[in-house]
Amino acid sequence: MKKILLPIFRITGVFACAAALVLCLLPQNGPFADATGIEDVKGTKRYIIDNPYATVDWDNWSDYKSNLHTHSNISDGDSHFNAMIEDYYAAGYDCLSMTDHGTVNYGWTASKSRHAIFGYQFVVHGSPKALSSSRNQAITTGSDRNGRKMIDVPLGIELNGASTAKVHVCGWFVDAGDGDMEMGASGISGVITAVQKNHNKGGNTHVNHVGEWSDGNYNTSFINDFTNVFKTYNTCLGFELVNTSDGRTSGDRVLYDKCLQVLAPLGRHLWGFCEDDAHDNGDVNRNANYLWMPSNTVANVRTCLQTGAFFASSKNSKGANELNGVTGTGDYPRVTRITIDDVHSQITFNIAKATKARIVADGVLIDTKDCNASGDVVTFDLNSYESQINSYVRVYFTGGGGITYVQPFYLTSVPYSEATVVINVTNAVDSTISVRNSLGALQTPVSSNRISATYNFDTEGTYTYTIENDGYYPESGSFTITTVDLTTAAQKEINVSINQIPQIVFGTEVPCKPDHERKIIDGISQGITAEQVAAIASSSNSSGQIFITPTPNGYGTGTTIELKALGGELLEKYTIVIYGDLDGNGIVDACDSNILSLKFYNLPLTPALTAASDVNNDGVINALDAQMLIDFGMSLGTTLDVVQNR
């Protein structure tokens, strides 16, 4: 049978190369809030975090409760085979592997005879009892549990099941070891023989209750023998952190950390399991492994176990910094999301039912955080623990329901550095420079002045900048910070020239009085010519163009002077007003008097004509204005200067 080679060893050479880069820009230590709002601790390293949960789709997958180490009276258990399956189904498990000593599980309905060594069980329990076909159908479809099925993790066995050293091996997925009790196997040789049988057929294994072998004597020779098993056989996934009530495994978390210190630098993953090792009903639901999977299938179970995308939970971890001898009741602490931020060297957990979060490195508890049991988000910033961290960290959560162990995160690092970007405005002072990230969050410069701003970045991505200055068009652009920019402390300079907005410049050749608030031009004498109108205004720069539009009757009241950009955008518009000139011909005469008289009959007037109608500029249009025009037209004491240049 073809051997299954798992992607447990991972190549990290690119990071090793990056670590050799010269650190060009060393930041000051100290916290700041990053774009996510989580306080970031700046250190001397940037950690690359190998996340066993990287493939999990937290929004669409579910966690499935499993037990992978279970016995019945087919071997040395006190419950019938079918009763044990029923007990786990009633306890809410989703995946179960029956792993009787030296006995392969060929299916829950299969009639299985005991091996001779367990013949005594007939006297106590009679013949083994398998599930009926109908009951197997109900359980494996969940027909009586709202469709929530429990599946058989197939071909389970506890290998070297009669070894006097009592360090056994659970195997799954292949038919290996049935009837091989290995009573004479002892020490590391028995473990190797058991793992090898399963490995050679392409299955997977984990090692059981190691503490019963070691008696807590984790000396260098023992660690070397044990880790060599994992180095040699990549199909052996790890070992039990907690077995049953933790009587014989209470020191095995110490062993776990000692093994991780050897294996993590090699990239060899080692997963931790919590198993019931149930022999009767009283052992059921002391522990569980929660497998995050897209659906509950055997194929997904195997992938999940191989990649480490599961959590190991127990109600019985006895350690002082664990449950401290208290048995958990109720729901286990539950992890619903893990977010990795390699840039800021942070691991964030969304959790529920936890009151404490703890992080361990090299077997040392390096931090404890309080949690809200109703739901919380906990972040560990690895830069806070640089002096205590080497090649891995592991995290676990405790609460009233027990303890949940997260699989370890293996670590490599490169020197911490930031990319620097300087933005210069080359042709205008008193400019405002702003930079935002891809989420729109405003970035803070490390320095700025009237024409320049300097920014440091520690996050890859595309950033946009905007430059604003009164009298100039806003100028925007973007730049990208790459991983290479960060690791090499790249320094970039962006030089930007901004374009001045054209304005109307009023000349002095033709007397006029621009009113910038009302956007009119008055103080102009009647009889103005087209050439004189053209001389009134020009553009302040070549990117603007003046357009003059006369009235149907000439260049009088209502004539517009517009400033447009070269692309046609209207920038400014002024209207000529000659007081008393209401027909727009530029001359004040009897026609204008008639028009003003008609005003009193509510004929509509344009804003310019309305302004021109207020001949005496007293803010109202009334009979006095009409009389002035009549008198002017009849030359009765009102001079042109009085009308035009009040």
Name which of 89-98, 379-388, 567-576, 630-639 the model is least confident about.
630-639
Query: Is residue 3 scored above 80 in pLDDT?
Result: no
Q: How far is CA 623 from CA 211, 384, 628, in A?
A: 112, 85, 9
Contacts of 603 (CB under 8 A, 6+ apart): none
> Band of the pLDDT at 631, cuts 50, 70, 90?
confident
What confidence score (pLDDT) does residue 36 get? 45
Q: Where are the domains positioned within the chain? A: 42-413, 418-496, 504-644
- Once rounded to an integer, what is the mean pLDDT over residues 271-286? 97
**Average pLDDT score, the chain:** 88
- Once rounded to an integer, what is the mean pLDDT over residues 434-440? 95
Helix (H) or strand (E) holding 637, with range, is none
- The structural architecture, per CATH, of the domain 504-644 is Orthogonal Bundle (1.10)
What confidence score (pLDDT) does residue 368 get? 98
What confidence score (pLDDT) does residue 190 get? 87
Query: Is residue 496 scored above 70 in pLDDT?
Result: yes
Closest CA to 56 of 292, 265, 325, 330: 292
What confidence score (pLDDT) does residue 20 get? 29
Helix (H) or strand (E) holding 419, with range, is strand 419-425
Cα distance between the two ends of the chain: 110
**Residues 65-114: pLDDT tens digits?**
999 999 999 999 999 999 999 999 999 999 999 999 999 999 999 988 89
Query: Is residue 592 scored above 50 in pLDDT?
Result: yes
Give the CA-trace dihedral at 437, 440, 445, 450, to 10 degrees: 120
> Band of the pLDDT at 182, cuts 50, 70, 90?
confident
47 three-class SS: strand
Is residue 214 within 8 A of residue 255, CB to CB? The reply is: yes
What confidence score (pLDDT) does residue 18 get? 31
Fold adopted by 42-413: TIM Barrel (3.20.20)
**CB half-sphere exposure, 435, CA atoms < 13 A:** 26
Is residue 536 within 8 A of residue 561, CB to CB? The reply is: yes
Is residue 155 within 8 A of residue 174, CB to CB? The reply is: yes
> Band of the pLDDT at 590, cuts 50, 70, 90?
confident
- Once rounded to an integer, what is the mean pLDDT over residues 176-195? 87
Is residue 202 within 8 A of residue 3, CB to CB? The reply is: yes
**504-644: same fold as 418-496?**
no
**Residues 304-322: pLDDT tens digits?**
999 999 999 999 999 999 9
Superfamily covering domain 418-496: Immunoglobulins (2.60.40.10)
What confidence score (pLDDT) does residue 605 get? 66
